[in-house]
Structure 1
Amino acid sequence: MVRYKELNHKAAGHDGTLTDEEGILVFKPATKQETNFYQAIQNTRNFNEEVSKTDNYDIPLIDWMPTFLGILDEGQASPPDNVHLLKDPNLDEATLKQLIKDTDNKDMRSKRYLVLENLLSTFRKPNVLDVKLGKILYDDNATKEKKERLTKVSNETTSGSLGFRICGMKIRKNKLTKGLSESYFENGNDGYISVNKFYGRSRTKENIKDAFEMYFADDELSSERRLKLKTTFFQRLQLFYNTLLNEEVRMFSSSLLFIYEGDSTIWDLRHDEDRILKSDFFDSDSDDESEDPLEDDEEIATDTAYKKSSLSSMHLIDFAHSRLTPSLGYDENIVDGVDNLLKVFEELQNHA
């Protein structure tokens, strides 16, 4: 019988998000609008999958999102249309279906969950940052009270001035976290701290860069590796910006989730080589005949997750207030925020 547990290393968001014992999947309480958005994005993927991702190829929005595997509804798994659940021989389709069907948790059986890939599953010591996008934080369905409350939050924070706001972090303690006010974080018993939403709300245009410096200040990584991370995320943001210009959607309160590996052993064995885009969830290790440097580490090689890991990743998450908007052009509310993020990351590189 599969057992579920609360998702660890969560930077922000609502309670109730679960993962399986293996940490491969995430079970997120579903709303109708978020479910519809995932399914709509799946159905609009009409490009040729054999086209390589080059500078001349626009990356579709779906490639920045967590892989959507289906819906768990009262204990029954329902895969979305046109999704083949798994091609990885280490976890075949039958195993995955059983995994998302079986539960001894009564609460799971009484709710509907989105079944998504766990973006943290391939990291050994992840540092996680949640950045909420947009100046406008509510959709047309929000109540008057909610619109007023979220407008106030936007006006008083970098959501209004920059079009983005740090919602939270789950990071390892480092030399820069020592200066944090106790009201802004909670200590974990694993060397991590959870930085809360009030820290992000206290940031301004003038000091927002310092918050990102703190995020990247993992003491186990050299200054060269930290600069490489900033540069890689800057490149991702450039590509993501171009994606947004080609997508006709409206997204309110969606976030960019930044993750990077804090274990220097993984960096050593990867020879500091990272991917701009994370490996596809359906990629099979058996299809790659090249030697994997992680095979040289007996402890790590026993875990297939690390064998196809990246050193960092960036994904767009949270679509409870998102929808497709054909013929309305790109989402200026989100694009402006990403434009300002690019300016911050350009500064991070230049003043490293």
Structure 2
Amino acid sequence: MTKKPFDPSSLQAFGNAAAGHDGVLSDESGAVVVKPCTKAEIAFYESVAQSHTDLAPHLPTFMGTLSLSADHTVPHAGDADSGTIVTASGAVERLHGRKLETELHIVLENVTHGFKRPNVLDLKLGAQLWDEDAKPEKRARLDEVSVATTSGGLGFRIAGMRTWKGVPTPPIPDDLKEYIEGNGDGGFWVYNKMYGRKFSAADVEEGFVSYVLPQSKSKPELERAREILAYFLGEVKDIISVFESKESRMYSASILLVYEGDVDEYASTKQKLRSAPVPEDGEDEEEDLPKLAAVKMIDFAHATWQPGKGPDENALRGMRSTAAVLKGLLDKAEKDLEATEEA
């Protein structure tokens, strides 16, 4: 993704997150997200650009940093060294997490940009969720979460989910009301972090089914599910392959899965992509094309390189478990599609 001019004065609340901290912003175009961050996260993105370029395709494009304060000074847009001061007053809405107490923000590609109705699934990786700097009380609290959820058994858990249900939006079932924010107005169901905590290793696939497999079993939706799951599986396998060659430690990093939730828009996008001109060597791909699906690693607030310590098996375990679930769902989608075609 090529960097475009970025106007920090246009920042507004970001509405497409499935999980994350309070205080996430976006610009008017929706092409970038600006989120509170740690120095470690910036250092990780910078090191990827400099020394680990094979990871770059699997991360959102890093566009630099901003310093956000309550000041009303809005100079030029910032890059990684600018330290630009802008205002975030009145532009923050509650998402799913505590706001980081920092003025330092990272500017990243918005992975959901290019989708009309993005269905988003955030998978938090790792059985150990704390880094070595965490205080004993935080370690104990996060260990309790890990033991009580699929984090401990599978090395990942569903941290948040957002799915397009259409308009008018169907009523939320009674057994889901405590997990879905609001009443579903606007066509989306937004699942909170407690939704993923209710699953065990034995039934976590149900959470993925709600995300990607249609209840109606219509042929267009099943075809989309098969294509999306095959793509997701291939991307996660690629991520595993890259990280198996890295000596890193990434506590509480996530895999973000996104696909077009509107089935008609999905079909239309496929046609547009088929007819789009292929860029010549050395040319950037057309940025304004719509998207069908995306898979990215995100959230590197507690990520470091650890030379000599080998691959990050804590995170890799969650990636491999994710791949296994996706493979099972892909097999299921193919069987359901075969049954539909035979009927």
TM-score, normalization by structure 1: 0.76
SS state at 2:30 partner: coil
Provide the rounded CA distance (Å) in 2 between the counterparts of 1:176 and 1:237: 33
Matches of 1:64 and 1:169, distance apart in 2:
20
Separation in 1, partners of 2:176, 2:104: 38
- State whether residues 274 and 312 of structure 1, in contact with CA within 8 Å, keep that contact through their aligned partners in structure 2: no
- Give the C-alpha shift of residue 271 in structure 1: 3.4
Give the Cα separation in 1 of the matches to 2:208 and 2:178.
19
Query: Matched residues, percent identical?
Result: 34
Q: Distance in 2 between matches of 1:265 and 1:157?
A: 36
Q: Does structure 1 residue 216 correspond to structure 2 residue 223? A: no
Q: In the alignment, does 2:16 pair up with 1:5? A: no
Cα deviations across residues 89-123 of structure 1 (Å, max 9, x unaligned)?
Answer: xxxxxxxx9xx968554589x92211111111111
Aligned-pair CA distance for 1:38? 1.3
Q: Counterpart amino acid of 1:4?
A: L
Q: Among 309, 312, 318, which residue is 1:331 paired with? A: 312
8 Å CA contact 1:65–1:315 kept in 2: the answer is: yes
Secondary structure of 1:136's match? coil
Deviation, structure 1 residue 235? 1.1
Question: Does the 8 Å CA contact 2:164/2:262 hold for their aligned counterparts?
Answer: no
Query: What is the root-mean-square deviation in Å for CA atoms of aligned residues?
Result: 2.9
Letter in 2 for 1:323: T
Give yes or no for contact 2:66–2:85 (8 Å, CA) kept in 1: no
CA deviations over 1:182-204 (Å, ceiling 9, x no partner): 11112342111110111100101
Unmatched 5+ residue regions in structure 2?
Answer: 1-6, 69-73, 92-101, 281-285, 334-343
Partner residue of 1:233? 232
- For residues 155 and 332 of structure 1, the distance between their equivalents in structure 2, rounded to whole angstroms, comes to 18
State the match for 1:86 in structure 2: none
Confirm or deny that 1:147 pairs with 2:139: yes
Q: For the Cα contact (< 8 Å) 1:158–1:203, is it kept in 2?
A: yes
Deviation at 1:4, TM superposition (A): 1.7
Distance 1:103 1:169 in 2: 31
Structure 1 portions without partners, runs of 5+: 47-59, 82-96, 276-284, 290-303
1:288 aligns with 2:284: no
Matches within 5 A, 1:255-334: 255-271=254-270, 288=279, 307-334=288-315
1:181 paired with 2:173, answer no
SS in 1 for 2:178: helix
TM-fit CA distance, 1:177: 6.5
Q: 211-220 or 314-323: which moved more?
A: 211-220
One-letter identity of the residue aligned with 1:204: S
Query: What is the rounded CA distance, in whole Å, between the counterparts of 2:38 and 2:23 in structure 1?
Result: 13
- The corresponding residue for 2:33 is 26
The aligned counterpart of 1:196 is 192
C-alpha displacement of 1:240 = 1.2
Between the aligned partners of 1:252 and 1:102, the Cα distance in structure 2 is 30
1:236 deviates by 1.1
The CA distance in 2 between the partners of 1:128 and 1:180, in whole Å, is 21
Name the residue aligned to 1:125: 117
Structure 1 residues 234, 286: CA separation in 2 closer, same or farther (over 3 Å shift)?
closer
Specify the SS of the correspondent of 1:351: helix
Give how far 1:23 is off.
Answer: 0.7
Q: Does 1:80 align with 2:80?
A: yes
Determine if contact 1:4/1:103 at 8 Å carries over to the other structure.
Answer: no
Equivalence for 1:91: none
The CA distance in 1 between the partners of 2:86 and 2:184, in whole Å, is: 28
Q: Is 2:60 the partner of 1:66?
A: yes
Cα distance, 1:41 vs structure 2 = 1.6
How has the CA–CA distance of structure 1 residues 269 and 339 changed in structure 2, closer, same or farther, with 3 Å as cutoff?
same
> Matched residues in 2 for 1:351 and 1:42: separation?
38
Query: Once structures 1 and 2 are overlaid, which stretch shifts more, 250-259 or 189-198?
Result: 189-198
Residue-pair matches, total = 297
| Structure 1 residue corresponding to 2:324, chosen from 331, 334, 343 | 343
Structure 1 residues 271 and 288 mapped into 2: Cα distance closer, same or farther (>3 Å)?
A: same
- SS of the equivalent of 1:190 reads coil
| 1:22 aligned partner, one-letter code | S
Match of 2:161 in 1: 169
Distance in 1 between the 2:200 and 2:58 partners?
Answer: 27
Question: 1:117 corresponds to which letter in structure 2?
Answer: E
Distance 1:345 1:105, change over 3 A: closer
